[in-house]
Amino acid sequence: MVQHDLNQALQRMRAKNIPLTPQRCAILTFLYEQGSYTTVKDICEALIDKYPHMNAMTVNSSLHVFKQLGLVNELPVISASLRYEAAICS
């Protein structure tokens, strides 16, 4: 199910002509595999080995794009960092 939802998310990006950079694919894959809310910091730490130049700005800009496309949900937390999760397709 996760792979199916991820494939649908990637197809939606392609349909909107959004560039599928390796970093964006990695972030989206991480979110869909995570299965729960996570922070920008968690995403950076999980992907830093494969993408050493990835930083919070890269992750935030990708999450902004994903959010506009309805691919992620954002959970505002009082006195804490925003949290994100994949928006599972139905």
Q: Name residues whose C-beta falls within 8 Å of residue 32's C-beta, 6 or more positions apart in sequence.
A: 2, 5, 6, 9, 86
Q: Where are the domains of the chain?
A: 2-86
Q: What is the pLDDT of residues 3-49, one digit of tens each?
A: 778 888 889 999 999 999 999 999 999 998 887 889 999 999 999 99
Q: Does domain 2-86 have CATH number 2.40.50.140?
A: no
Question: In 3D, which of 57, 56, 47 has the Cα closest to residue 22?
Answer: 47
Per-residue pLDDT at 87: 78
The dihedrals phi and psi of 84, each to the nearest 5 degrees, come to -130, 150
Largest CA distance in the chain: 37
Q: What angle do CA 45, 49, 51 make, to 5 degrees?
A: 90
